[in-house]
Amino acid sequence: MAVRERSSFHGADTQFLDPAVLSRIGNLELLARTVVDGFLQGLHRSPHLGMSLEFAEHREYMPGDDIRRIDWRLFARTDRFYVKLFEAETAADFMVVLDISKSMSFGTHTVTKLDYARYLGAALSYFSQKQRDRVGIATFDHEIVDYIPPSTRHLQRILHTLVRAQPGRPGTLRDPLMRLGDNLHHRGIILILSDFYEEPESVIGAVRHLRARGHDVIVFHLLDPAELDFTYESAASFRDLESGTMVPIVPDELGDEYRALLAQHTAELERLFTGSRIDYTVLDTSKPLDYALFRYLSSREQMARVR
């Protein structure tokens, strides 16, 4: 179960990864640099991954594999067919897909979900830029609001887009992501930042469209602690940020069932994403960004392997 999974990464100096600290940094580029450099410094590992055609391992030939990747030398020695697996190739397209629907403006901690998504988007864009990837961004609510195609020179525009992204309208996933998939002609890595307040089948239907076009998709499900714990005490009218409708709620009576439903929702999303070979991570916006960065790097590392 991915919900409330704790970071198992240790060693990085998380002082500059805490959202409460990052919220004091007004410049998003400085923020991204602080995050990435601080994170990678603590990682003690080269940031340049997949920069060459480096052999990784052999795997037994399976019907359907490209016969050009058969290692004939090994066949000569072992009389068996093996194919070579290499590290990822050079610069890929990295696309940040940011949900800026009204629900993303929610936050009971020091930052909102959108702020947290900004930090992540900026940091990972900066990180990808440093890896000489082509970076782009698309923001959407019920339609695509801003779209910057992937390019090695678009980091400033991306940061600028992130800064001025304002939540205001209700959002959906299907139409924007379908349209985005149609616009992305090169396969790349797509990072989706959203709170996914849609039925799991609808979510996976939209995201699977990107996956079907050959993109590697990484999904960060952003949730505020209040959404995760539902720690409200007094009875109140709860107003849906997107629709504006109000429902009288007695948290004492609803908390358990709400949490169960949320857990059921995230579990279903995880099951569906995993089934589609999409990395899915639930992020608590009160936690430092290190876990998200680590998950991203892990995903990139796995994606870099060519199967």
Partner 1 sequence: MSLLAPLFLLGLLGLAVPIIVHLTERQRRNVVDFPSLMFLRKIPFRSTQRRRIHHWALLSIRALALALLVAAFARPFLANTEVAIGSTLGPREVVVVLDRSYSLGYGNRWDRAKNQARQVFQGLDASDRASLVFMGRGAEALLRATSDRDRLLAALDTASLSADGTLYGPALKLAQTILEESQFPNREAVIISDFQRTGWKGDEGVTFPPGTVVTPVLISDDATPNATVASVTLRRDFFSGQERMTATARVVRRGGDAPADRTIMLEVDGQEVQTQFVRLDPTGSATVTFEPFTLSDLYTRGSIRLGSDALAQDNELHFVLSPGRAMRTLVLEGATPRPDASLYLRTTLEISEEESFQVDVRRSTSLSAADLAATDVVVLNDTRFPQGATADRLRGFVEAGGGLLLVLGERSAWQTGLDEFLPGRFGPARDHTRGAARLGYLDYTHPVFELFSGPRSGDFARARFFRSRDLEMGPEGRVLARFDDGSVALAERRLGEGYVLVWTSTMDAFWNDLAVQPVFLPFIHQMMRHLGGYRERVPWFTAGQVLDLADPEGMVFVADRDRELAPDVAQVALTPGGGSVALPATDGPRFLELEEQGFYEIRPPGTNPERPFAVAVNVDVTESELESMDPAELAAAVAPRETSGDLSASGELLTPDLQARNQERRQSLWRLLMVAALVLLLAETAISNWISRAATMRFEDGRSYVQST
Confirm or reject binding of residue 53 to partner 1 (CB under 8 A).
Answer: no
Compute the least distance from the CB of residue 55 to partner 1, in Å.
45
**CB < 8 Å & 24+ apart, contacts of 77-86:** 82/58, 83/58, 83/59, 84/55, 84/56, 84/58, 85/55, 85/56, 85/57, 85/58, 85/59, 85/305, 85/306, 85/307, 86/53, 86/54, 86/55, 86/56, 86/306
Shortest approach of partner 1 to residue 202 CB, angstroms? 11
Determine, following the binding rule CB under 8 A, whether residue 227 of this chain makes contact with partner 1: yes
- 229 makes contact with partner 1 (CB under 8 A): yes
Contacting residue, 54, 143, 182, 240, with partner 1 by CB under 8 A: 240
Contact 222, 104 (CB under 8 A): yes
Radius of gyration of the chain measured on its C-alpha atoms: 21
Q: Using the rule CB under 8 A, is 245 a contact of partner 1?
A: yes
**According to the binding rule CB under 8 A, does residue 224 interact with partner 1?**
yes
- Binding map of partner 1 across residues 258-277, x = CB under 8 A, - = no contact: xx-xx--x------------
Question: Residue 81 has which token pair?
Answer: 């067919």
Which of positions 76-105 make contact with partner 1 (CB under 8 A)? 103-104
Candidate ranges 10-18, 55-63, 186-194, 243-251; the one touching partner 1 (CB under 8 A) = 243-251
Burial of 19 (0-12, 13-18, 19+ CB in 10 A): buried
Cα 280 to chain center, whole Å? 7
Asked if residue 140 binds partner 1 (CB under 8 A), the reply is no
Binding site for partner 1 (CB under 8 A): 103-104, 106, 113, 195, 197-198, 224, 227, 229-243, 245-250, 252-259, 261-262, 265
